[in-house]
């Protein structure tokens, strides 16, 4: 069993955890901080009594009241270093939209670092290099768009050129994304084939939203991998 954090540090960490998701269960909090459920209940009451507007959904979990703004999070040196390392890794990704959006996000994160942390982060940035995709090749620009399509259940019109140079147009219902061998793959329900298909993002010629949405599919990504043969 890991050493229990001092209570003040744990309360701060729980507050950060509550901000990171729309709903957090007591069991998730207990497991993350290696405490009992009873301790979680006591910590939640302490946060509430300090003025944090925590919403309790009976039998489900906890959330922070919508619209409530908390002061910027302060990062430890190790956390700041992890962010710099992640930035270096993502900068070598082949999808341009991911790189641009992450750079924008990490710039905001860096803005809350202490000056001493910023100096160390600048030094670490110069001393870390990811030795793959050294040419910084970008082969797609659709990853962030497709993430939004997945969460909003929006149908898109896809123009696609397969690796066999066969072109096609179809309406798709984006379902999931995964990366393999440096390439991003979209799993989507193809309305043309009336079945799930895998599409390489670097083979997409154009991707345009329609004004229609689709009903969520009753399947997990793991079930897709178990049911569908490899086609990418």
99 phi and psi, to 5 degrees? -60, -45
* 114-118, 150-154, 179-183: which is most confident: 150-154
Measured CA distances, 6 to 35, 68, 71 (Å): 12, 26, 21
Residue 45 has which token pair?
A: 């009451």
> What predicted TM-score, i.e. pTM, was given to this entire model?
0.70
The answer to whether the beta carbons of residues 53 and 62 sit under 8 Å apart is: no
Q: Is residue 93's pLDDT more than 80?
A: yes
pLDDT on residue 134 = 81
pLDDT tens digits, one per residue of 184-199: 999 999 999 999 999 9
Q: What is the DSSP string of 29-98?
A: HHHHHT--HHHHHHHHHHHHHTT--EEEETTTEEEEPTT---PPPPPPHHHHHHHHHHHHHHHT-SBHHH
Average of per-residue pLDDT across 213-217? 96
pLDDT on residue 7 = 83
pLDDT on residue 57 = 93
pLDDT on residue 112 = 73
The answer to whether the beta carbons of residues 20 and 28 sit under 8 Å apart is: no
pLDDT tens digits, one per residue of 139-169: 999 999 999 999 999 999 999 999 999 999 9
pLDDT on residue 117 = 83
Rounded CA separation 216/154 (Å): 10
| Residue-range domain boundaries for the chain | 7-64, 77-127, 143-227
pLDDT on residue 1 = 44
Q: How many CA atoms lie within 13 A of 199 on its CB side?
A: 35
pLDDT tens digits, one per residue of 18-57: 887 889 999 999 999 999 999 999 999 999 998 899 999 9
Q: What angle do CA 164, 135, 105 make, to 5 degrees?
A: 100
Q: Is residue 100's pLDDT more than 90?
A: yes
CATH top class, domain 7-64: mainly alpha
CATH of domain 143-227: 2.30.30
Q: What is the CA radius of gyration of the chain?
A: 22
Q: What percent of the chain has pLDDT over 70?
A: 94
């Amino acid at each position: 069993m890991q050493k229990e954090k001092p209570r003040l540090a744990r309360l701060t960490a729980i507050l950060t955890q509550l901000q990171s998701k729309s709903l957090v269960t007591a069991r998730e909090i207990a497991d993350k901080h290696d405490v009992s459920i009873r301790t979680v209940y006591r910590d939640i009451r302490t946060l509430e009594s300090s003025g944090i507007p925590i919403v309790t959904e009976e039998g489900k979990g906890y959330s922070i009241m919508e619209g409530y703004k908390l002061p910027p999070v302060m990062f430890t040196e190790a956390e700041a270093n992890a962010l710099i390392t992640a930035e270096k890794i993502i900068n070598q990704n082949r999808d341009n939209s991911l790189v641009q959006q992450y750079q924008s996000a990490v710039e905001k994160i860096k803005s809350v670092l202490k000056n001493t942390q910023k100096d160390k982060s600048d030094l670490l940035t110069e001393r870390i290099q990811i030795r793959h995709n050294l040419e910084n090749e970008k082969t797609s620009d659709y990853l962030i768009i497709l993430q939004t399509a997945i969460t909003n259940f929006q149908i898109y019109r896809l123009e696609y050129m397969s690796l066999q140079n066969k072109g096609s147009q179809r309406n798709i219902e984006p379902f999931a994304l995964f990366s393999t061998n440096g390439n991003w793959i979209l799993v989507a329900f193809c309305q043309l084939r009336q079945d799930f298909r895998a599409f390489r993002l670097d083979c997409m010629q154009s991707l345009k939203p329609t004004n229609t949405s689709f009903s969520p599919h009753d399947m997990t990504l793991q079930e897709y991998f178990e049911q569908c043969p490899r086609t990418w």
